[in-house]
Amino acid sequence: MAITNFFSQVAALDLQGCLNLTLRRDGESLTVSVLLQNDACGDTAKTHITPLILKGTPQELGEGFFPAIAEPVQATSQLLVNMEQYLKGQEEAKKNSAMEKKKTEKADKPATEVSPKEKKFLEAMKQVDALEAEGKFKEAWCKVPQATEYPDKAEQLRGRRDSLKAQFAPDLFGAAQPAENQEEEDVEPNTDDYADSEPNAEDIPDEGEGK
């Protein structure tokens, strides 16, 4: 039996991946589908690579099969290798980028413990937010911590107080105005001026002098 050199020629192609051959007989001719796959390549774009189709008689295929597939199959093999290397390079570049390093360092950094004073401040401001959301601006204003207790947040606290006060100040003065008017109406007139207008005993002429 003659020894074929088919497999020797396949090995000589030096391909990386799996070379799939599908043969179909059409009368006196053969149709061969050749597709190189590389499971090591993680790029899904490889699914768009179409098989190489060859048609011919057994003699024609025997003579021209390897010359026909050698260049395109080797190019596909190199393409798949390059695609995988490109993906790995992208992943490595992403890991080494300054942005990713910063994210990793931030994620690895242990959370700092909140001091009791800071915790008290945060709880108070949370109450302020809740009351403001309910439209209770005066109550929220009263809950804002004193700036003297938190000097480092004095500017923030003063600004929060001012913003809350601006929302209830018109009602505050509007409500106070009627009370002030009422007080003016209830004030009794001052009678000191009337006392000065009454005649003194010295100013009344003596009856004897009039005669």
Note whether 30 and 79 are same-domain residues: yes
User: What is the per-residue pLDDT for 23?
Assistant: 93
In a domain, 153, yes or no: yes
User: What is the per-residue pLDDT for 166?
Assistant: 85
Note whether 123 and 87 are same-domain residues: no
In a domain, 85, yes or no: yes
Q: DSSP readout, the chain?
A: -PPP-HHHHHHHT--SSEEEEEEEEETTEEEEEEEEE-TT---GGGGGPPPEEEEE-HHHHHHHHHHHHHHHHHHHHHHHHHHHHHHHHHHHHHHHSHHHHHHHHHHHSPPPPPPHHHHHHHHHHHHHHHHHHTT-HHHHHHHSPPTTT-GGGHHHHHHHHHHHHHHHHHHHHHHHHHHHHHHHHHPPPP-HHHHHHSPPGGGSPPHHHH-
In a domain, 101, yes or no: no
Q: How many domains does the chain have?
A: 2
In a domain, 192, yes or no: no
Note whether 89 and 131 are same-domain residues: no
Q: Is the pTM of this model over 0.75?
A: no
Label residue 107 by pLDDT band (50, 70, 90). Answer: low
In a domain, 131, yes or no: yes
Note whether 72 and 126 are same-domain residues: no
User: What is the per-residue pLDDT for 195?
Assistant: 43
In a domain, 108, yes or no: no
φ, ψ at 36 (rounded to 5°): -100, 130
Q: Is the pLDDT of residue 170 over 80?
A: no
Chain segment 35-46, per-residue pLDDT in tens: 999 998 888 888
Label residue 97 by pLDDT band (50, 70, 90). Answer: confident
Label residue 177 by pLDDT band (50, 70, 90). Answer: very low
Chain segment 52-92, per-residue pLDDT in tens: 999 999 999 989 999 999 999 999 999 999 988 888 888 88
In a domain, 125, yes or no: yes
Note whether 15 and 84 are same-domain residues: yes
Note whether 129 and 77 are same-domain residues: no
Note whether 87 and 46 are same-domain residues: yes
Structural domain of 47? 7-94
Q: Check if the beta carbon of residue 95 is closer than 8 Å to that of residue 107.
A: no
Note whether 90 and 136 are same-domain residues: no
Note whether 33 and 77 are same-domain residues: yes
φ, ψ at 204 (rounded to 5°): -85, 120
Note whether 89 and 134 are same-domain residues: no
In a domain, 196, yes or no: no
